[in-house]
């Protein structure tokens, strides 16, 4: 099979629109591809969630040879897929690649909130020893809700069961209340939001934008602990700030906040924020790199190779 670009007769050119490790670059170069600059001529573009491809940029890239976009992760909300279809650009995402790693971070957040680690940390930094006032909860007696039950939501449920938890209720747009999915009973959205610890694992879409906001605030249990590993826009931050002030939300943890736009929220003592670390492990990034390579090889009919298939 040929490893030539359909446009130039050379090896397919791949533009990395965000920062990727040497693992992916070496893998692609050893597998029949050449790396192009983000604004150079390229047959393929690889991106994460931090780059937005609107129609204007897509048209610009198509003029430079773009034929395929690969989202190295889950979700396509940052890509104008309608424009891609009109322009003849194939679009691929890689759902589930980082499910286990993201689930581990989500569980870490949940345990931190249950045991007030964020408040204890801020108190110690300020020279206060507040042990007596920071009475927490054990996970094994905690009722948990998981909003969004795709690969990551199911991975969180599996970890929770391994560690031990009071109960788990799940909500999915594609499941009916009472249905059992991977051993978890699905419930209504208000019932799941009404649990003591709630994990959010949703794609961003019109129906999930500000899912936690004015319309659903009354369903939240007093002092609920929220963990958001999906998209920042799933939560209405103006409403969240009010709920934190009122104590309706006891604490909030998120891996998807903006360090500039959300700085006031991040600075709160009962908020934990991390810079999108969910998938940031060597093994997960290597799995994603292999999946990107395999997707491009299939698209461009480049002969498969096992080069660097094992983590270096």
**Cβ partners under 8 Å of residue 19, min gap 6:** none
- CA gap 163, 102 in Å, rounded: 16
Regarding whether 254 and 142 lie in a shared domain, the answer is yes
8 A C-beta contact, residue 56 and residue 25: no
Predicted local distance difference test score (pLDDT) of residue 9: 54
Residues 38 and 120 occupy one common structural domain: no
Residue 181 in contact with residue 149, Cβ under 8 Å?
yes
> Coil, helix or strand for 60?
helix
Quickly tell me which residue has 């045991």 as its tokens. 115
Which among 248, 258, 252, 247 is positioned nearest to 271, based on CA atoms? Answer: 252
Q: How far apart are CA 15 and CA 10, in angstroms?
A: 15
- How many C-beta atoms lie closer than 10 Å to residue 95's C-beta? 15
User: Token match 């103006």: residue?
Assistant: 238
Give the CATH number for residue 32. 3.40.50.720
One domain for residues 123 and 83: no
228: which strand partners? 200, 254
One domain for residues 287 and 159 = no
Q: How many Cβ atoms from other residues are within 10 Å of residue 182's Cβ?
A: 13
> What range defines the domain where residue 169 resides?
99-273
Read off the tokens for 41: 């001529």
Ramachandran assignment for 135, one of left (phi > 0), alpha (psi -120 to 50 degrees), beta (any other): beta
Same-domain status, 132 and 254:
yes
The reply to whether 135 and 200 lie within a common domain is: yes
Predicted pLDDT of residue 89: 97
Flag whether 8 is in a domain: no
Q: What angle do CA 301, 304, 308 make, to 5 degrees?
A: 135
pLDDT value of residue 309: 64
Asked if residue 282 lies in contact with residue 310, where contact means CB atoms within 8 angstroms, the answer is no
Are 39 and 148 contained in the same domain? Answer: no
Number of domains in the chain: 2
Domain membership of residue 75 (yes or no) is yes
In this structure, are 171 and 268 located in the same domain?
yes
Query: What are the backbone dihedrals phi and psi of residue 2, each rounded to the nearest 5 degrees, phi first?
Result: -80, 145
Sign of the dihedral defined by the CA atoms of residues 200, 205, 206, 209, in that order: positive
- Tell me which residues of the chain have a pLDDT lower than 50: 1-4, 6-8, 311
Q: Is the domain of 91 the same as that of 103?
A: no
The reply to whether 79 and 55 lie within a common domain is yes
Q: Residues 180-213: pLDDT tens digits?
A: 999 999 999 999 999 999 999 998 888 999 999 9
Cα end-to-end span (Å), the chain: 27
Question: Has residue 5 been placed in a domain?
Answer: no
State whether 117 and 228 are in the same domain.
yes
């Amino acid at each position: 099979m040929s490893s030539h670009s359909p446009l130039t007769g050379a090896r397919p050119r791949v533009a990395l629109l965000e920062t990727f490790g040497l693992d992916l670059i070496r893998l692609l170069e050893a597998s029949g591809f050449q790396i192009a600059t983000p604004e150079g001529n390229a047959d393929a573009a690889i991106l994460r969630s931090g780059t937005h491809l609107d129609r204007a940029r897509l048209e610009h890239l198509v003029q430079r040879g773009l034929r395929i976009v690969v989202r190295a992760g889950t979700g396509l909300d940052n890509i104008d897929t309608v424009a891609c279809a009109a322009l003849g650009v194939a679009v691929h995402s890689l759902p589930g690649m980082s499910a286990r790693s993201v689930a581990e971070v989500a569980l870490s957040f949940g345990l931190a909130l249950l045991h007030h680690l964020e408040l204890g940390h801020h108190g110690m930094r300020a020279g206060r020893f507040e042990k007596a006032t920071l009475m927490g909860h054990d996970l094994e007696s905690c009722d948990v809700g998981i909003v969004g039950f795709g690969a990551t939501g199911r991975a969180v449920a599996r970890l929770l069961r391994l560690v031990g938890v009071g109960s788990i209720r799940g909500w999915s747009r594609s499941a009916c209340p009472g249905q059992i999915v991977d051993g978890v009973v699905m419930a209504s959205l208000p019932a799941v939001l009404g649990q003591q610890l709630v994990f959010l694992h949703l794609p961003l879409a019109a129906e999930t934008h500000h899912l936690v906001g004015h319309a659903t605030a009354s369903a939240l249990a007093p002092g609920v602990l929220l963990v958001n590993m999906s998209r920042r826009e799933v939560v209405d931050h103006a409403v969240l700030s009010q709920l934190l002030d009122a104590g309706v939300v006891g604490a909030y943890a998120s891996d998807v906040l903006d360090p500039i736009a959300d700085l006031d929220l991040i600075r709160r003592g009962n908020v934990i924020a991390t810079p999108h670390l969910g998938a940031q492990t060597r093994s997960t990034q290597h799995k994603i790199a292999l999946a990107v390579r395999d997707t491009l090889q299939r698209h461009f009919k480049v002969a498969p190779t096992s080069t660097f298939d094992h983590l270096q």
